[in-house]
């Protein structure tokens, strides 16, 4: 019986906070049906309801910092993006993009009637408490009561809650009635029906319940306080009655519970499959450059990191890469900039000429081969022309994290400056240089780089001759190669055939090639073989597979020396093969 | 220069450090080996404070003990704006004093629970926790209604006062004594606001926000 | 909350620290908890220290209404009193540096923390949190990278070698930031030691450690000690440094969910920087430890589905 109730409650909307509880940059902490929640509003207004637990070491995220776009864990500084709760940065490994599987649990959320509503499983409807959709009632002060939701229901059914004196001159008391379609909502009306009060119960955990209250219609500023005080007094008395029975304060009663001893995690493989996206906006960004905003047709996009790009799979069979220019936490859509290439073979030309707002495109990604380290005091960003796109994302991220950086943007003329509205926010970090000759450009690059000081990194993106010149200068100025990061705007990945090996799958009989730059795990997934994974760094042991034949080239830290020696299992996310073929037990 | 006889993990010492830092008063810390050395009970320290308590300040030879007394002295002497201790505004001064009295309660309950859980002091832990929760309820309710009135702090007016400063340490460290703040959303927001004040200083156990 | 009795034979047979010797001598008797049992630690005439188990009503034997308080095996080492609820080995591990005459040894406090012993040990082994939790002391942003290091098992101990981290003030005697070299040693499931470059002599190491007493499954007491080459600093300054470090870790440790250390690697998300803790968790699993941990399914049983 109890289990059934819990099950039903899991897919129902429950109020978990007042919207006004979510102050700017605050992390609100509560529980729903025993699940600890961290609730926070991003600066763009999006309200996130997450499991209150960092995936890494189980730290409560409510201790962390809401930076307006991402929630940063207090323990190791892992950053999680608003909306998706995907991890965007792991400071201990600044050059590695976190795996897409490192994604916190997000709960369904709805904002209605001044309250934040959440559910454990996605409910079918919107929150229903018998109020018109547009109602904006006065939100009363909620109280945590030390009783299970059933016990509190029992008490509310017999409670008598007087309306505020001025509303009901007679001062009559009314019994509360359960709402016909929502058994956790109790109603009370004034005699003339002009005023209604609703109490909605939030099942906090097995022993505690939060009583939320709504008073309608909304009141003028001056008359709100007496009503708020009136109900606060009533609810406080209601709570006291409870406590005199149970002999324990609500806030204390949770202390006796053992902390949960197991935690769920979803290890379903997140495969970088193609998804459908709609062009939700298309605009002229600069001379010869079109901006496009893509929104997912279904669900959410995967989490992006600064420097990441999307693959656009065009109907004409071509695939083109475009960098995501979004700032941190901007996950509801992706924006890209497309320059019409003079010698277009049908990629940019198609996008410029054929694609309109409302059209759909198939995309995959985001992928990140141009990750942004954030472990140096100074980052130099150098952009040439449309090569600015990944650096726009990086600059916004550095700016948000209060890290020092400069962005020098070299363009032909003012008309060629793209994404000005985003660049404007960077203030003095940004310098735009127009119409410089290659020599003049290099002169500025030299000044910007200066002699290597052990405290800097440089990122550059632009036309190949410019990147080559920057790399050359950096070398002359003593910058070690690992501090000079670049992405050619044209994708020029060359596969190293020599490191190709094969995996033969004993159970299914498949033989697959694993090329340089790919992992066994990726290749398996692309061929429809689902394998659970978690850290994708060779640290957690989740993607382990038994090796039947061949000599593994271990690159994990999970197995110990003896296990590496024996060679009979392998972490498919990082390890490779010394022999031409590995036979795996799958 | 002011010398503060100090122990990093003491809430009462933290109150004094907070104000010295807010007021940008130059000072030096004399660390007392409170735990495990019990130096505050040593003979030499009892010469300074016969009660064997910290904090004590030595302002060019003027010795003062008890955190509330020290705070009032420092505010009166070094806070030209009279922001922290509004001596010229009787009603606000009354409010500040009222909450400073209240803080004796939070220190004797919430901070006592912390000493029990952390350093093994022999207190009736359940009584400490219950007492702290009762006071936190009063605090949360007051702060919630202050927010409704558009006020951010314990006392009326736009600025924080010693009232906020003396209660903040007991509150922010309460979870070390097993006193969760999950049921006190208004307290949690107020603690965020306090930590965002300019020249706010952390102590070990207080996280930035 | 009534603690259930610890039935874990591995943990019962270990030596556990229960008090610092000077605390017992100067301020004893000390009441404390070990594996959920209440103990009294007190000094006897002649300088011996004895540990007795407080009989729990209904469980202790009694003769003529007087409860028998069994005396537990006791030894004193490294300035602490150690005891065991089972049949402990003849001796406790050694710390050779402890014998070196030019070192300064001190217990710097026994601090209680509301988490399992395993969580406390793992935090001690962790480098990556320095710039976040101990900013300005053991780490400084943006220097957050954990470079690769090696972990090996030798003679029943876990060693992590070649750890490096940039630190603003690695120790009280340091005056500026430096890249500090570390090694970690786990000589006992709850006794992690840290060897780090001495600011005074870069050829030698300071030894710092915690001996963690599992009071219950979810409460621990970390007995800190230092074995340093540093002579210049006074006692109170060093103890303050240690208290700061502990105080900074405490809210982090007490806000990990679950409090018991999950041994199933998939329960959390380790990364390469966590190499030592990965081996630590596997070691506890292989030792068969069940107290204060969440065993989950065997790491060996993870199979492809």
What distance in Å separates residue B146's CA from the closest CA in chain C? 28
Q: What is the mean pLDDT of residues A509-516?
A: 88
- CATH architecture, domain defined by A1-124: 3-layer Sandwich (2.102)
Half-sphere exposure of B194 (CA within 13 A, CB side): 28
The fold of A128-251 is: Alpha-D-Glucose-1,6-Bisphosphate; Chain A, domain 4 (3.30.530)
Q: What interface predicted TM-score (ipTM) does this complex get?
A: 0.95
Hey, of C236, C238, C249, C256, which one would you mutate to test binding to chain B, going by the most B CBs within 10 A of its CB?
Answer: C236
Per-residue confidence (pLDDT) for residue A97, from 0 to 100: 87
A78 pLDDT tier (thresholds 50, 70, 90): very high
Question: Which structure tokens are listed for A559?
Answer: 């197995």
B147 inside 8 A of chain C by CB: no
A124 CB burial (10 A radius; 0-12, 13-18, 19+): exposed
d(CA C273, CA C148): 7
pLDDT at A164 over 80: no
Q: pLDDT digit string (tens) for A294-324? A: 999 998 899 999 999 998 999 888 888 899 9
Chain-chain contact of A545 with C304 (C-beta, under 8 angstroms)? yes
C79 inside 8 A of chain B by CB: no
C300 pLDDT tier (thresholds 50, 70, 90): very low
8 Å CB contact between C218 and C116? yes
B46 inside 8 A of chain A by CB: no
Which subunits have 3 or more CB–CB pairs within 8 Å of chain C?
A: A, B
pLDDT at C142 over 80: yes
A540 CB burial (10 A radius; 0-12, 13-18, 19+): buried
What distance in Å separates residue C198's CA from the closest CA in chain A? 24
pLDDT at C115 over 80: yes
Q: pLDDT digit string (tens) for A437-475? A: 999 999 999 999 999 988 899 999 999 899 999 999 999
B145 inside 8 A of chain A by CB: yes
Q: Give residues with Cβ within 8 angstroms of C104, minimum separation 6.
A: C226, C227, C228, C229, C230, C231
- CATH architecture, domain defined by C1-55+68-91: Single Sheet (2.20)
CA dihedral over A143, A146, A149, A152, signed as positive or negative = negative
Chain-chain contact of A21 with B189 (C-beta, under 8 angstroms)? yes
Contact residues on chain A for B145, CB-CB shorter than 8 A: 141, 225, 228-229, 232
Q: Give residues with Cβ within 8 angstroms of B113, minimum separation 6.
A: B123, B125, B128, B129, B132, B174, B177, B178, B179
Using CB atoms, which residue from B36, B117, B178 is nearest to C20? B36
Helix or strand (DSSP H, E) at C11: helix C9-12
8 Å CB contact between A381 and A459? yes
Chain-chain contact of A94 with C251 (C-beta, under 8 angstroms)? no
Among A497-511, B174-188, C112-126, the least confident range:
A497-511
Helix axes B11-22, B162-172, angle to 10 degrees: 140
pLDDT at A495 over 70: no
The CATH class that applies to domain A497-584 reads alpha beta
Identify the residue whose tokens are 């006692």.
C235
The CATH class that applies to domain C96-287 reads alpha beta
Q: pLDDT digit string (tens) for B1-20? A: 999 999 999 999 999 999 99
Among A474-478, B70-74, B191-195, C239-243, the least confident range:
C239-243
Q: What is the mean pLDDT of residues C107-116?
A: 93
Per-residue confidence (pLDDT) for residue C187, from 0 to 100: 93
What distance in Å separates residue A145's CA from the closest CA in chain B? 9
Closest CA to A83 of A358, A334, A400, A391: A334
The CATH class that applies to domain B2-78 reads alpha beta
Chain-chain contact of B176 with C112 (C-beta, under 8 angstroms)? no
Q: Which of residues 222-261 of A touch C (CB under 8 A)?
A: 256, 258-261
pLDDT at A161 over 90: no
Q: Which residue of chain B has the CA closest to A251? A: B183
Side-by-side strand order, sheet with B56-59: B27-31, B2-6, B56-59, B62-65
Radius of gyration of chain A (CA): 29
Among A365-369, A441-445, C278-282, the least confident range:
A365-369
Greatest mean pLDDT among A156-160, A317-321, A537-541, C236-240 lies in A317-321
d(CA B43, CA A322): 73
Chain-chain contact of A374 with C142 (C-beta, under 8 angstroms)? yes
Q: What is the mean pLDDT of residues A519-525?
A: 89
Domain boundaries, chain C: 1-55+68-91, 96-287
Residues of A near B (Cβ–Cβ under 8 Å) read: 17, 21, 23, 25-26, 28-31, 63, 65, 74, 141, 144, 224-225, 228-229, 232, 236, 249-252, 254-255
Contact residues on chain A for B209, CB-CB shorter than 8 A: 25, 65
C-alpha to C-alpha distances, A267 to A23, A59, A270, A532, C269, nearest whole angstrom: 33, 19, 8, 5, 11
Q: What is the mean pLDDT of residues A500-519?
A: 87
Hey, of B204, B206, B207, B209, which one would you mutate to test binding to chain C, going by the most C CBs within 10 A of its CB?
Answer: B204
What distance in Å separates residue B7's CA from the closest CA in chain A? 24
**How many C-beta neighbours within 10 Å does residue C55 have?**
17
- Which is more confident, A567 or A492? A567
Closest CA to B79 of B10, B160, B12, B7: B160
Chain-chain contact of B130 with A65 (C-beta, under 8 angstroms)? no
What distance in Å separates residue A353's CA from the closest CA in chain B? 49
Closest CA to A234 of A190, A177, A193, A173: A173
Q: Please, where in chain B does CATH 1.20.1050.10 lie?
A: 90-195
Q: Give residues with Cβ within 8 angstroms of B45, minimum separation 6.
A: B5, B32, B39, B52
A-C CB pairs within 8 A amount to 143
Q: pLDDT digit string (tens) for C33-89? A: 999 999 999 998 777 899 998 865 445 455 555 555 678 999 999 999 999 999 999
Q: What is the mean pLDDT of residues A367-371?
A: 86
Q: Which residue of chain A has the CA closest to B205? A: A63
Average pLDDT of chain A is: 88
Q: Please, where in chain B does CATH 3.40.30.10 lie?
A: 2-78
Residue A430: cis peptide before it, omega within 30 degrees of 0: no
Strands A456-462 and A484-488: parallel
Q: Which of residues 114-173 of C touch A (CB under 8 A)?
A: 122, 127-129, 131-133, 141-146, 151-153
Q: pLDDT digit string (tens) for A242-288? A: 888 776 677 776 543 334 444 445 555 455 578 999 999 999 999 99
d(CA C140, CA C167): 7
DSSP string, A380-435: EEEEEGGGHHHHHHHHHHHHHTT-EEEEEEEESSGGG---HHHHHTTGGGEEEEES
Provide the CA C218 distance to its chain's centre, in angstroms.
14
Chain-chain contact of B120 with C32 (C-beta, under 8 angstroms)? yes
Hey, of A251, A254, A259, A402, which one would you mutate to test binding to chain B, going by the most B CBs within 10 A of its CB?
Answer: A251
B-C CB pairs within 8 A amount to 66
What distance in Å separates residue B180's CA from the closest CA in chain C? 11
A271-493 CATH: 2.40.30.10
Q: Which residue of chain A has the CA closest to B137? A: A251
Q: pLDDT digit string (tens) for C145-185? A: 999 999 998 888 999 999 998 877 656 665 556 788 889 99
Which CATH number among 3.40.50.720, 1.20.1050.10, 1.10.20.140, 3.30.70.260 corresponds to the domain B90-195? 1.20.1050.10
Using CB atoms, which residue from A92, A259, A377 is nearest to C257? A259
Using CB atoms, which residue from B33, B119, B176 is nearest to C239? B33
pTM of the model: 0.91
Question: Which structure tokens are listed for A329?
Answer: 């936490």
Strands A456-462 and A378-384: parallel
Q: pLDDT digit string (tens) for B119-165? A: 888 899 999 999 999 999 999 999 999 999 999 999 999 999 999 99
d(CA C277, CA C122): 6
Domain boundaries, chain A: 1-124, 128-251, 271-493, 497-584
Using alpha carbons only, give the angle A367, A449, A482 rounded to the nearest 5 degrees. 45
């Amino acid at each position: 019986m109890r289990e059934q109730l819990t099950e039903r409650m899991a897919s129902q909307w429950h109020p978990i906070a007042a919207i006004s509880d979510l102050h700017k940059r605050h992390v609100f902490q509560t529980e729903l049906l025993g699940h600890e929640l961290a609730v926070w509003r991003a600066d763009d207004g999006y309200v996130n309801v997450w499991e209150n637990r960092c995936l890494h070491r189980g730290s409560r995220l409510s201790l962390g910092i809401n930076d307006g776009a991402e929630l940063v864990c207090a323990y190791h500084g892992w950053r999680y993006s608003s909306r998706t709760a995907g991890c965007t940065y792991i400071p201990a490994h600044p050059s590695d993009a976190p795996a897409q599987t490192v994604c916190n649990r997000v709960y369904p959320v709805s904002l209605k009637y001044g309250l934040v509503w959440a559910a454990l499983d996605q409910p079918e409807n919107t929150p229903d408490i018998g109020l018109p959709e547009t109602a904006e009632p006065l939100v009363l002060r909620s109280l945590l009561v030390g009783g299970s939701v059933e016990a509190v229901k029992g008490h509310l059914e017999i409670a008598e809650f007087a309306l505020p004196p001025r509303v009901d001159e007679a001062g009559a008391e009314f019994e509360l009635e359960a709402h016909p379609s929502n058994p956790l909502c109790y109603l009370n009306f004034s005699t003339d029906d002009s005023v209604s009060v609703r109490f909605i119960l939030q099942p906090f955990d097995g022993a505690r319940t939060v009583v939320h209250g709504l008073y309608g219609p909304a009141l003028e500023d001056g008359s709100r306080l007496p009503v708020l005080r009136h109900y606060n007094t009533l609810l406080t008395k209601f709570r006291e009655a409870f406590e005199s029975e149970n002999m324990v304060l609500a806030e204390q009663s949770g202390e006796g519970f053992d902390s949960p001893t197991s935690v769920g995690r979803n290890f379903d493989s997140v495969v970088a499959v193609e998804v459908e996206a709609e062009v939700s906006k298309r605009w002229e960004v600069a001379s010869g450059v079109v901006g496009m905003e893509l929104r997912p047709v279904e669900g959410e996009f995967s989490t992006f990191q600064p420097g990441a790009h999307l693959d656009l799979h065009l109907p004409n069979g071509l695939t083109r890469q475009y960098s995501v220019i979004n700032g941190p936490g901007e996950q509801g859509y992706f924006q890209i900039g497309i320059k019409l290439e003079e010698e277009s073979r049908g990629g940019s030309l198609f996008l410029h000429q054929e694609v309109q707002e409302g059209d759909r495109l198939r995309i995959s990604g985001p992928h990140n081969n141009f990750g942004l380290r954030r472990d140096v005091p100074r980052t130099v960003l150098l952009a040439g022309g449309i090569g600015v796109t990944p650096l726009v994302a990086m600059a916004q991220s550095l700016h948000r994290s209060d890290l020092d950086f400069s962005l020098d943007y070299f363009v032909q003329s003012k008309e060629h400056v793209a994404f000005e509205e985003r660049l404007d926010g960077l203030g003095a970090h940004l310098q735009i240089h127009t119409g410089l000759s290659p020599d003049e450009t290099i002169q500025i690059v030299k000044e910007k780089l200066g002699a290597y000081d052990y405290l800097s990194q440089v990122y550059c993106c632009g036309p190949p001759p410019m990147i080559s010149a920057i790399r050359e200068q950096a070398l002359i100025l003593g910058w070690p190669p690992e501090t000079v990061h670049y992405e050619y705007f044209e994708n020029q990945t060359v596969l190293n055939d020599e490191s190709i090996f094969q995996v033969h799958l004993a159970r299914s009989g498949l033989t697959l090639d694993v090329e340089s730059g790919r992992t066994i795990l990726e290749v398996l997934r692309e061929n429809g073989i689902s394998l659970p994974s978690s850290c994708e760094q060779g640290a957690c042991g989740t993607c382990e597979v038994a090796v039947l034949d061949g000599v593994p080239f271990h690159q994990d830290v999970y197995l110990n020396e003896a296990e590496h020696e024996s060679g009979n299992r392998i972490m498919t996310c990082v390890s490779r093969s010394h022999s031409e073929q590995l036979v795996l037990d799958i | 220069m002011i010398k503060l006889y100090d122990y990093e993990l003491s809430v009462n010492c933290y109150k004094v450090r907070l104000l010295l830092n807010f007021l940008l008063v130059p000072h030096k810390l004399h660390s007392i080996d409170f735990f495990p050395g019990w130096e505050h009970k040593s003979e030499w320290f009892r010469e300074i404070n016969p009660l064997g308590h910290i904090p004590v300040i030595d302002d060019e030879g003027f010795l003062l003990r008890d955190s509330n007394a020290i705070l009032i002295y420092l505010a009166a002497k070094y806070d030209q704006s009279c922001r922290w201790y509004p001596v010229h505004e009787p009603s606000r001064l009354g409010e500040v004093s009222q909450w400073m009295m209240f803080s004796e309660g939070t220190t004797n309950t919430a901070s006592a629970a912390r000493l029990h859980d952390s350093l093994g002091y022999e207190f009736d832990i359940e009584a400490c926790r219950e007492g702290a929760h009762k006071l936190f309820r009063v605090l949360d309710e007051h702060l919630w209604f202050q927010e409704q009135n558009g006020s951010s702090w314990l006392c009326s007016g736009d600025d924080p006062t010693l009232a906020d400063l003396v209660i903040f340490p007991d509150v922010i460290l309460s979870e070390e004594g097993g006193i969760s703040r999950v049921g006190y959303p208004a307290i949690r927001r107020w603690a965020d606001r306090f930590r965002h004040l300019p020249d706010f200083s952390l102590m070990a156990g207080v996280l930035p926000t | 909350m009534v603690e259930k009795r610890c039935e874990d034979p591995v943990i019962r047979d270990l030596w556990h620290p229960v008090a610092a010797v000077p605390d017992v001598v100067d301020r004893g008797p000390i009441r404390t908890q070990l594996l959920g049992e209440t103990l009294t630690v007190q000094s006897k005439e002649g300088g011996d220290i004895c540990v007795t188990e407080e009989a729990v009503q209904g469980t202790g034997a009694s003769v003529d209404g007087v409860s028998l308080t069994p005396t537990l095996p006791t030894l004193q080492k490294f300035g602490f009193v150690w005891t065991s609820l089972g049949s402990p080995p003849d001796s406790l591990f050694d710390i050779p540096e402890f014998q070196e005459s030019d070192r300064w040894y001190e217990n710097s406090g026994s601090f209680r923390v509301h988490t399992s012993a395993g969580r406390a040990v793992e935090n001690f082994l962790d480098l990556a949190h320095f710039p976040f939790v101990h900013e300005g002391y053991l780490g400084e942003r943006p220097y957050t990278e954990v470079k690769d290091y090696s972990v090996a098992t030798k003679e029943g101990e876990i060693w992590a070698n070649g750890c490096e981290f940039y630190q603003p003030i690695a120790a009280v005697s340091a005056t500026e930031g430096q890249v500090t070299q570390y090694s970690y040693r786990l000589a006992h499931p709850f006794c992690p030691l840290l060897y780090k470059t001495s600011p005074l002599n870069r050829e030698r190491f300071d030894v710092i450690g915690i001996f963690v007493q599992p009071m219950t499954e979810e409460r621990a007491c970390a007995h800190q000690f230092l074995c340093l080459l540093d002579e210049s600093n006074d006692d109170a300054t060093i103890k303050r440094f240690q208290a700061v470090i502990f105080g900074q870790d405490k809210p982090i440790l007490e806000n990990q969910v679950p409090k018991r250390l999950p041994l199933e690697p998939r329960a959390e998300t380790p990364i390469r920087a966590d190499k030592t803790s990965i081996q630590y968790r596997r070691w506890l699993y292989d030792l068969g430890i069940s107290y204060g941990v969440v065993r989950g399914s065997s790491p060996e049983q993870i199979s492809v589905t």
